[in-house]
């Protein structure tokens, strides 16, 4: 069905990421590609002053390691990618740069401001140039 699927995974919710990763594999065409993506948020300057200088780099390494473990655990072939910045922007940029035809994203329990699907998923749905599947 789809040739290139972006599957963003929040490392703190790796179980949801695994669930979506397995679903993505079922929707992938023969010869297609899944890109497992983790986006590490930048730390505001006023907070970064109090933290060691390599916090973002450490988080990016942890994200890459955890996604590689997920690939090994499931046996599903995928490309692992880690970016930093605002999550929605990173997901949209990855979809654009890879020419994705689907983004599969998890939605958490939203707060009042993002009642229906959650802040990141909401932004991705509104701004993506490809299809988006939101999983609950």
- Burial call 96-112: b when 16+ CB within 10 Å, e when fewer: eebebbbbbbbbbeeee
pLDDT tens-digit readout, 82-117: 999 999 999 999 999 999 999 999 886 655 555 555
Residue 2 clears pLDDT 80, i.e. is over it? yes
Question: If one looks up domain 2-119 in CATH, what number appears?
Answer: 3.40.50.620
pLDDT of residue 14: 93
Tell which wins on pLDDT, 120 or 80. Answer: 80
pLDDT tens-digit readout, 17-76: 999 999 999 999 999 999 999 999 877 666 656 666 687 788 899 999 999 999 999 999
> Order of strands, edge to edge, in the sheet holding 28-40?
79-84, 28-40, 2-8, 102-106, 131-135
Is the pTM of the predicted complex or chain greater than 0.85?
yes
pLDDT of residue 47: 65
């Amino acid at each position: 069905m789809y040739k290139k699927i972006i599957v963003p995974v929040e490392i703190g919710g790796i179980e949801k990421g695994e669930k979506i990763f397995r679903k993505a594999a079922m929707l992938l065409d023969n010869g297609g590609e899944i890109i497992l993506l983790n986006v590490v948020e930048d730390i505001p300057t006023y907070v970064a002053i109090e933290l060691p200088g390599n916090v973002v780099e450490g988080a990016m390494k942890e994200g890459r390691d955890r996604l590689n473990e997920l690939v090994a655990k499931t046996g599903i072939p995928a490309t692992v990618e880690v970016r930093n910045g605002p999550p929605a922007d990173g997901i949209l940029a990855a979809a654009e740069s890879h020419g994705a035809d689907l983004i599969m994203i998890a939605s958490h329990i939203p707060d009042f401001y993002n009642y229906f699907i959650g802040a990141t998923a909401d932004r991705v749905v509104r701004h993506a140039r490809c299809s988006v599947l939101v999983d609950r």
